[in-house]
Chains A and B, each alone.
Chain A
């Protein structure tokens, strides 16, 4: 129970926000606040957008994870130290550039749709994963590595059987942070035509329909908490199984 409690809390929050995004509830809330009655986004449209939103976030985090873990492993090898300053600076630079600017700059080259947003999210999520990977590998105690080497482990075995299992929990934590970041940020892609939960937000801004904005915002936040909850529960259960087994 203790391993999944943080996950359940996020899950409850996700549920509450999803209810807020539901058309009739959102309409009632807006009316209670004194807003004029307007047409809400239908529930099935919202679910469809949420699925696309989640897929886009997952795809970006998958790419960022592959790149970040790969680069993180590379720069912590003794032969990769020469790459480290440049990799660090580029990752920090890519994260400093606001995602909306990446979307806008990529838009003329990559066109209308999901591609500019995918690029922006990969840029944005690369640094957390890279940082997490490097920190995780460096946190592995030197004497464990030394002992493994003394036992005759090859360098590949050292990576696969010692460093990876030791580093995995910290990397998983970094990927969770990246995933929540990606879900909260993907909405901005709507300005370049990516179908996400940002789409009702942007149309709401254009047509002055705050109901659409409220629904889009609540649904995005719900999705972020849902992802976090699923991730925490899954990693909590896996961690428990491993410590039992």
Chain B
């Protein structure tokens, strides 16, 4: 132990460092993301032009496609991300955020506009698609935006994002994106896409509804008795390890057997293929997070509070409604969030058993090896999943705040 004082000195010296080095890490993070974005811009394949939608096209680098605009974007990016540190950087955050968002939207619009120039005079099947460099650039900019978003006040963030949405809407109206292959794919099947979108959302909400109806009694039982909780938890967890694809398929078979045995079920609108099995299967997976959220929420109130309510002579039913429910709401919303995100993902698999939804587009794209169709189907699924995750998480935090 003779070296202990030395090590301790080193430790104390290190303790004084962090404030500086945390800032350094923050700057390093931004510098790294900026470098990655520049790599996408200069070293990557920005866009491709192909004779038709199924062939890999010839790659184009950003400078050769966008000319001076590419260098201007690079300069703007470096200027925005190297803007000071510490207090100054925090004050700069709204400007930086708005600038980066503008840069991102601007680059997408420019990519679209230069594409229509390239496509002019080529035969109709020719496709203009964005490449890996473009995606790397977009991903790096999104991460930079995400890192800054937390420094902004919510109202200001909403305002800037609102302007961003407006800018994208105007650009779309004036036809800036029409040349991009994803838009061509969208135009070719706008009706199918919208039907799939509506079907996806209604199936997700329907499955959530069915699962909620199931979970309310189950959650209550699980809350009341330890034995019941063990049985319900084991049963519902057992469902989780069955692959969703298989549960969908097995339900198709079981439903067709049931419909064969009791034809009257058909009159209720049940069918072996299509939305019915998808609705049941998805609801079966959602029951676990919802039941746990309900049971956990009911049990969340502090025992002392419940005892006080008892002492005041409140009946069990009123305690549940007026004490347990309001106090347990954040826990229940957490379960609802998990279930909602799962629902949106699981409904995608319904495309494999003819339930429709965005999954049908994704799987059609895979079968045709058409990346644009896969992206067209996937993008809304990702957007719905992430938005409902963020939205319900914010709601959860808001509900939990007065308690802490």
**Footprint of B on A, CB under 8 Å?**
13, 33-35, 77-83, 85-86, 89-90, 92-93, 96-101, 104-105, 107-109, 149-155, 157, 180, 183-185, 187-188, 190-192, 197-198, 201-202, 204-205, 210, 213-214, 216-217, 220-221, 224-225
- On chain B, the residues within 8 Å of A180 by CB distance are 241
Size category, B interface: 35 or more
- On chain A, the residues within 8 Å of B393 by CB distance are 92
Smallest CB-CB A-B distances: 5 pairs = A98-B345, A217-B246, A152-B4, A82-B26, A187-B243
| Cβ of B91 under 8 Å from chain A | no
| Cβ of B244 under 8 Å from chain A | yes
- On chain B, the residues within 8 Å of A150 by CB distance are 8
Cβ contact within 8 Å between B238 and A221: yes
Nearest chain A CB to B130 CB, angstrom units: 13
Given A85-B147, A101-B382, A150-B8, answer yes or no on A221-B253 (Cβ-Cβ < 8 Å): no
CB contact between A154 and one of B10, B242, B253 (< 8 Å): that residue = B10
Cβ contact within 8 Å between B5 and A105: no
Cβ contact within 8 Å between A104 and B374: yes
Given A104-B374, A153-B7, A205-B353, answer yes or no on A217-B150 (Cβ-Cβ < 8 Å): no
Cβ contact within 8 Å between A152 and B386: no
Nearest chain A CB to B397 CB, angstrom units: 13
| Cβ of B375 under 8 Å from chain A | yes
Nearest chain B CB to A97 CB, angstrom units: 5
A-B contact count (CB 8 A): 167
Nearest chain B CB to A230 CB, angstrom units: 15
A82-B23, A149-B8, A198-B245 known; 18 new pairs, CB 8 Å cut-off, are A77-B18, A86-B147, A89-B146, A90-B143, A96-B385, A97-B385, A97-B386, A98-B344, A98-B381, A104-B378, A105-B378, A108-B374, A152-B4, A153-B11, A183-B241, A191-B352, A205-B245, A210-B249
Nearest chain B CB to A26 CB, angstrom units: 12
Cβ contact within 8 Å between A96 and B389: yes
CB contact between B253 and one of A35, A80, A187 (< 8 Å): that residue = A35
| Cβ of B341 under 8 Å from chain A | yes
How far is it, in angstroms, between the C-alpha of A86 and the C-alpha of B142 when the chains are bound? 11
Nearest chain B CB to A179 CB, angstrom units: 11
Encode B1-42 as 1/0 by CB contact (under 8 A) with A.
Answer: 101111110110010011001111110010000000000000
Nearest chain A CB to B37 CB, angstrom units: 15
Cβ contact within 8 Å between B386 and A96: yes
| Cβ of B400 under 8 Å from chain A | no
Cβ contact within 8 Å between A104 and B365: yes
- Specify the chain B residue showing the minimal Cβ separation from A80: B25
Nearest chain B CB to A232 CB, angstrom units: 14
CB contact between B245 and one of A77, A98, A187, A210 (< 8 Å): that residue = A187
How far is it, in angstroms, between the C-alpha of A153 and the C-alpha of B9 when the chains are bound? 10
How far is it, in angstroms, between the C-alpha of A80 and the C-alpha of B385 when the chains are bound? 29
Nearest chain A CB to B36 CB, angstrom units: 13
**Footprint of A on B, CB under 8 Å?**
1, 3-8, 10-11, 14, 17-18, 21-26, 29, 132, 143, 146-147, 150, 238, 240-250, 252-254, 257, 260-261, 341, 344-346, 348-349, 352-353, 359, 362-363, 365-366, 369, 371, 374-375, 377-378, 381-382, 385-386, 389, 393
Chain A CB within 10 Å, residue with most, of B245, B365, B393? B245
16 contacts between A and B (CB under 8 A): A86-B143, A86-B146, A92-B389, A96-B341, A96-B385, A98-B348, A100-B362, A107-B366, A149-B11, A152-B4, A152-B5, A152-B8, A188-B243, A201-B249, A205-B248, A220-B246
- On chain B, the residues within 8 Å of A82 by CB distance are 22-23, 25-26, 29
Cβ contact within 8 Å between B7 and A154: yes
How far is it, in angstroms, between the C-alpha of A82 and the C-alpha of B29 when the chains are bound? 9
CB contact between A34 and one of B25, B257, B389 (< 8 Å): that residue = B257
How far is it, in angstroms, between the C-alpha of A97 and the C-alpha of B362 when the chains are bound? 14
- On chain A, the residues within 8 Å of B362 by CB distance are 100-101, 104
CB contact between B352 and one of A97, A99, A154, A205 (< 8 Å): that residue = A205
Chain A CB within 10 Å, residue with most, of B241, B250, B253, B349? B241
- Specify the chain B residue showing the minimal Cβ separation from A214: B250
- On chain B, the residues within 8 Å of A154 by CB distance are 7, 10-11
Cβ contact within 8 Å between B241 and A101: no
Cβ contact within 8 Å between B242 and A192: no
Given A210-B253, A213-B253, A221-B241, answer yes or no on A100-B18 (Cβ-Cβ < 8 Å): no
- On chain A, the residues within 8 Å of B26 by CB distance are 82-83
Cβ contact within 8 Å between B386 and A210: no
- Specify the chain A residue showing the minimal Cβ separation from B361: A104
- On chain B, the residues within 8 Å of A78 by CB distance are 18, 21-22
- On chain B, the residues within 8 Å of A107 by CB distance are 366, 374
CB contact between A217 and one of B143, B243, B341 (< 8 Å): that residue = B243
Nearest chain B CB to A177 CB, angstrom units: 11
Cβ contact within 8 Å between A220 and B22: no
